[in-house]
Structure 1
């Protein structure tokens, strides 16, 4: 199956995206993910937090019935925010946010009622992962992304430099033991291209 019911840090969702741990160092780990289908949306904003909040609301409405058939779905984990590396102060950046579709809807997800949502395929990929606690704010996300790139540079890892993922596992209501991650996609074998499947 592509989902695991409870991992050590994914405690709030019934379905958490499963992965194979390829290797682990003190600074990061390498994981292998199988292909999955996601429901995604893009938000243009000057600040990641604002864009993510707008996008999250749309996705949350989708799983709460804003879809053809009015299906209610369980929240899955993690939430992925695609963050461009090069953002300019004077123009808004586009942040893409997605949830993995629940196992029951991977094959035939109901169409969203909003035209701002689309389905995307996450192909098979390896990612470099750094984990951290607290809240996934723009500044903490960038800090941990920076620390991860420094380490990847030190070991000469090959990865996609144009964006990283901010990855969250907890609802905003959870206060303690929060778990967040930064992902860079390895360019060793397969690398991530989001084909838009409308």
Structure 2
């Protein structure tokens, strides 16, 4: 069974291969999704701002799929791009941002080694995530705003999740200007909670 395969997600329009998931439930404020284990190519970047770190890391990963690997294999761009964002960052200290691309289905089992020692392979475990979607650009300020809005809602419904980090998730190339799709993910811990929003 292919873990990364074709998907018909309406927001995954630019990549041939997108990470598949099972939609467990959807409320007005968030979705609950189940992801199967997958292998990723990842890199870490230290920066004061997410955008700066993500740009440095993205360049390294893009070089890898464009041939900076043993064998010089060219790979199709996959989606989404995942940025692991630590929850507690101090203004005067840089944070470490981990960025990853899901490896294409053909390379899930035996990916070619990267030529850069700054890249590594990581395993995304089977997991359930709470997801909030938003449009526009995934900037530090918008990412933090939507992370805050999601944590407020998860707190309201009493959901249990990992508080130490969240994921910033992007599906579009920087060249796409309209109908952009981004997400914030928090990894669920324990029993899943999905109750409809109560509108005042």
For the aligned pair, the TM-score class normalised by the smaller chain equals: over 0.9
CA distance in 2, matches of 1:101, 1:197: 41
Q: What 5-or-longer segments of structure 2 have no aligned partner?
A: none
Contact 1:82–1:163 (CA under 8 A) maintained in structure 2:
yes
CA distance in 2, matches of 1:121, 1:91: 28
TM-score when normalising by structure 1: 0.94
Distance 1:182 1:154, change over 3 A: same
**Aligned twin of 2:191:** 189
Which string of whole-angstrom CA distances, capped at 9 and with x for unpartnered residues, describes residues 14-68 of structure 1? 0000000001000000000000000000000000000000000000000000000
Contact 2:20–2:35 (CA under 8 A) maintained in structure 1:
yes
CA distance in 2, matches of 1:69, 1:195: 51
Q: Report SS of the residue matched to 1:98.
A: strand
CA distance in 2, matches of 1:194, 1:60: 40
Contact 1:125–1:192 (CA under 8 A) maintained in structure 2:
no
CA distance in 2, matches of 1:194, 1:96: 33
Contact 1:27–1:151 (CA under 8 A) maintained in structure 2:
yes
CA distance in 2, matches of 1:130, 1:163: 15
Distance 1:87 1:109, change over 3 A: same
CA distance in 1, matches of 2:57, 2:196: 17
Contact 1:69–1:110 (CA under 8 A) maintained in structure 2:
yes
Distance 1:197 1:118, change over 3 A: farther
Contact 1:22–1:30 (CA under 8 A) maintained in structure 2:
yes
Distance 1:115 1:197, change over 3 A: farther
Contact 1:48–1:138 (CA under 8 A) maintained in structure 2:
yes
**Aligned twin of 2:43:** 41
CA distance in 1, matches of 2:29, 2:198: 33
Distance 1:197 1:12, change over 3 A: farther
Distance 1:195 1:167, change over 3 A: farther
CA distance in 1, matches of 2:34, 2:99: 20
1:7 CA drift (Å):
1.4
**Aligned twin of 2:180:** 178
Q: Report SS of the residue matched to 1:99.
A: strand
CA distance in 2, matches of 1:66, 1:99: 15
Distance 1:92 1:197, change over 3 A: farther
